[in-house]
Amino acid sequence: MTKKNPQEIFTKPILEWWHKSGRKDLPWQKEKSLYKTWVSEIMLQQTQVKTVIPYFLKFLSDFPSISGLANAKESEVMSHWSGLGYYSRARNLHKAATIIKKEYGGKFPQNFDQIVALPGIGPSTAGAILSLNKIEPRPIMDGNVKRVIARHFYVEGDLSKGDSKNRIWKLTESCIPDSEFDVFTQAIMDLGATVCLPRKYKCEQCPVNQSCIAKRKNMVESLPQKKARKRKKKTEYNFMVIRSGEDFLLERRDSNGIWPGLWSFPTLEINEKVRPWINSYIGVSNSYELSYMDPFIHSLSHIDIKINPIIVDVNDYKTDTISKDMIFIKRQKIKSLGISKAVKKIIDEL
């Protein structure tokens, strides 16, 4: 049996499909630049396109250039990430911008090794930046691409390790065309995002359904193989929601642990006593009222946190700034700070 050429059976039909049905009006595709591709690729890690679009537009409008991003305070950058999760992405974006400004005069580097050396950029993201901007053909390995390749060429096993990882990289490389590699990169991402979906896959609309091995073997659902999930840790905190009218007390978390560097309600371990803590912050002479919101679970990638919001209504407070990392702030201004989804949820509900 003659071995089929991946460019013939896979690349060509996918390129043709993209010209007819691919996504062409995403905000980062307009007046494309390395900077826009970089920001969008970072935002799209772990986050869906429809969620990313408004964040991307605001980010680009407030930081239209790499130098502008480098000159911003980290806290300003973090505030643009509020609610998007995985906050280390924002911190690395800012760090990388300062490096690009210092070492490359604010111009995004075009060399793979220089790009991959920047904080928060791995080989797949560096490949996407170079390929999508038609600088160099490089494979990208986001979840959508892996799914399409694993199913079409039938790659079993954990795609993040060993032989399966090598195989999927090699197969993807073998499919990249010499010209139109920018289109191919976009096309395969689009196919994974719109047709070869994790569960509601639409094989009847797929341009490579004739040659897809998973489809022929009726094994689409089982690929890519799920990674063995580590058991998530669980923890529980009391959130001290101290308010006086429309002013709320927020504390900046330190740079380690959960929500590093974000503003949050002061957080108590579950075994810490609430009233002595309040007295130490508010003063025993001040009266206050306590009430309780329903607890909720806030899930992060590695931990489930049960949050018990305790509302402490105080009549008055002496100073806006208790310390540089603990301030009273008006409700309308809170969203201009970098806050976690859990804080936003409580503010929205109050």
Instruction: Name the residues annotated as catalytic.
Output: 41
- Residue 111: CB atoms within 10 A of its CB come to 13
Q: Is residue 293 within 8 Å of 309, Cβ to Cβ?
A: yes
Query: In terms of Cα–Cα distance, which of 91, 180, 182, 83 is closest to 129?
Result: 182
Binding mask 136-175 for ligand SF4 (x = CB under 6 A): ------------x--xx-----------------------
- At closest approach, how far in Å is the CB of 2 from ligand SF4? 21
Strands (E), the chain: 233-244, 247-252, 263-264, 267-269, 288-292, 296-299, 303-314, 321-323, 326-330
CA distance 107 to 5: 39
- At closest approach, how far in Å is the CB of 214 from ligand SF4? 5
- At closest approach, how far in Å is the CB of 257 from ligand SF4? 40
- Residue 261's Cα: distance from chain center in Å? 17
Query: What is the three-class DSSP state of 318?
Result: coil
63 forms part of the interface with ligand SF4 (CB under 6 A): no
The residue (of 72 and 191) whose beta carbon lies closer to ligand SF4 is 191
- At closest approach, how far in Å is the CB of 105 from ligand SF4? 43
CA distance 327 to 337: 12
- At closest approach, how far in Å is the CB of 130 from ligand SF4? 25
175-234 residues in contact with ligand SF4 (CB under 6 A) are: 195-196, 201, 203, 206, 208-209, 212, 214-215, 220
Query: Per 3-state DSSP, what percentage of the chain is helix, strand, and coil (rounded to 5)?
Result: 45, 15, 40
The residue (of 219 and 290) whose beta carbon lies closer to ligand SF4 is 219
CA distance 39 to 60: 9
The residue (of 78 and 206) whose beta carbon lies closer to ligand SF4 is 206
The residue (of 212 and 342) whose beta carbon lies closer to ligand SF4 is 212
Question: Interface residues with ligand SF4 (CB under 6 A)?
Answer: 148, 151-152, 195-196, 201, 203, 206, 208-209, 212, 214-215, 220
